[in-house]
Amino acid sequence: MTTTLRPSGPLQQTTTGARTRPYEIRVNSRRVGALLITSDTPFGPTVGEIRDLSVDEGDRRRGRATVAALAAEELLRGWGCRRVRVAVPADSAGGLRMAEALGYTEYSRNMAKGLPAEPPAVPEGVLGRPMTDAEYEVWNAGAIESYAASWTSRGMSAQAAHAKSGADHEALLPQGLATPGTHFVVLEAAGAPVGHVWLAPGDEGAYVFDVEVEDAYRGRGHGRHLMLLAERTALAQGHRVLGLHVFTANTPALRLYESLGYRPTSFNYAKDLI
């Protein structure tokens, strides 16, 4: 029996070269699942994604998804893509096994924590306060540059990275500190500002968009203190879940979040298309 992909909708293409098309997974003429392929992710048209891959329950564990993923990779090669990305839910054991078997490498993960009913305690001498307007101006300028640099380090052109950084910050913070639902908390220890955390509403609760300890104060537990302040702030706003994103290579941050009870909700993988 032959597993193939058949288009289930028209090819959508923009003037920038972005492409998207849905496909059915078929065994001979019988539909057994579906997926979506797309290019022109933030990295540009040479990076593609395989999304929403699913196989009907009665046809699982027969290699259908693996064959479909390989066929999708071949389609992306035909679109000129040289790299492919996939996001796998943390509770998809089969999806995680398949990503590993097909040579994908994890580069980041999304994590979340169900918050306790009572706000977590913070050590004596640790104070959280709102960020001032002057501090925000300094932070915003640096954040736009550092966010752009994070994209160029992953292969995006400098021009595209700066454009994306500016657009993303404008979309998330249209009114700066006054943006509804947004909170910037500055951590003070012994009267000195040592770091900050930015959180705002997310898909299922609150979401940490940025957390940073000043270089001179690292290694003293302030990252943990900031996350505790973030949890207190989220609870005060009525949220019961706090989410975040972390790059796999950032081992100290990953260990911190795990120690605080954050658990993966999805894993992000990528591989080169040779």
Range from 86-90, 201-205, 256-260 carrying the lowest mean pLDDT: 201-205
The rounded mean pLDDT for the chain is 92
- Hey, is 69 helix, strand or coil? helix
Q: Which residues contact 134 (CB under 8 A, 6 or more apart)?
A: none
DSSP assignment of 118-151: SPPP--TTEEEEEPPHHHHHHHHHHHHHHHHHHH
Percent of all residues in the chain with a pLDDT value above 90, rounded to a whole number: 77
Q: Per residue in 129-171, pLDDT tens?
A: 999 999 999 999 999 999 898 888 777 788 888 888 999 999 9
Q: Per residue in 109-122, pLDDT tens?
A: 999 999 999 999 88
Confidence at 59, pLDDT banded by 50, 70, 90: very high
Say if strands 241-247 and 206-213 run parallel, antiparallel, or are unpaired. Answer: parallel
> In angstroms, rounded to a whole number, what is the distance separating the alpha carbons of residues 186 and 213?
10
Per-residue pLDDT, averaged over 214-234, amounts to 94
Termini Cα distance of the chain: 27
The three-point CA angle 23-29-32 to 5° equals 55
Q: Looking at residue 43, what is its pLDDT?
A: 65
Q: Per residue in 225-245, pLDDT tens?
A: 999 999 999 999 999 999 999
Confidence at 18, pLDDT banded by 50, 70, 90: confident
Half-sphere CA count of 24, side-chain side, radius 13 A: 12
> In angstroms, rounded to a whole number, what is the distance separating the alpha carbons of residues 53 and 5?
12
User: Is residue 27 pLDDT above 90, yes or no?
Assistant: yes
Q: Domains in the chain, please, with CATH? A: 3-103 (3.40.630.30), 114-266 (3.40.630.30)
Which is nearest to 166 in space by CA: 174, 178, 177?
Answer: 174
Range from 15-24, 39-48, 167-176 carrying the lowest mean pLDDT: 39-48
